[in-house]
Amino acid sequence: MQPEVRAEIETAVIEILAAQLLLPSSGVSPDARVDDLGLDSLGKVEAIFALEERFGITIPFNANEPDLPEFDFASVPDIVDGVAKLIADRA
């Protein structure tokens, strides 16, 4: 994946997480862990929906087993990697 595409994904992930947390984008670092940010389960689901809409992807997520994800939602880099993979798989 081209670096500029990865940077675009990272920027979008940070913006979406920041919006859920009611923070400016600068309040979410590129290496932040989602649990350290204090995002609750509803916020995670809303962030997943926003990522799906933004990138035209479907993120596998089992709401009944949120701790056993097919999509790693633990940190900004994990989310970026997952989104990038789903975009590549779609192509």
42-61 pLDDT, tens digit each:
999 899 999 999 999 998 86
What is the model's pLDDT at position 36? Answer: 94
Measuring CA to CA, how many Å separate 57 from each of 10, 28, 49, 51, 74? 15, 23, 10, 8, 19
Determine contact, residues 47/20, Cβ cutoff 8 Å. yes
Q: Regarding the domain with residue range 3-90, which homologous superfamily does it belong to in the CATH classification?
A: ACP-like (1.10.1200.10)
- pLDDT category of residue 66 using cuts at 50, 70 and 90: low
What is the model's pLDDT at position 90? Answer: 82
Phi-psi region at 39: left, alpha or beta (left = phi > 0; alpha = psi -120 to 50): beta
Confidence check: pLDDT of 2 > 90:
no
Question: Which residue do the tokens 């009611």 mark?
Answer: 22
Q: What are the pLDDT digits (tens) for 17-39?
A: 999 999 999 999 999 999 999 99
By percentage, how much of the chain surpasses pLDDT 90? 69
Neighbours of 82 (CB within 10 A): 22
Determine contact, residues 17/47, Cβ cutoff 8 Å. yes
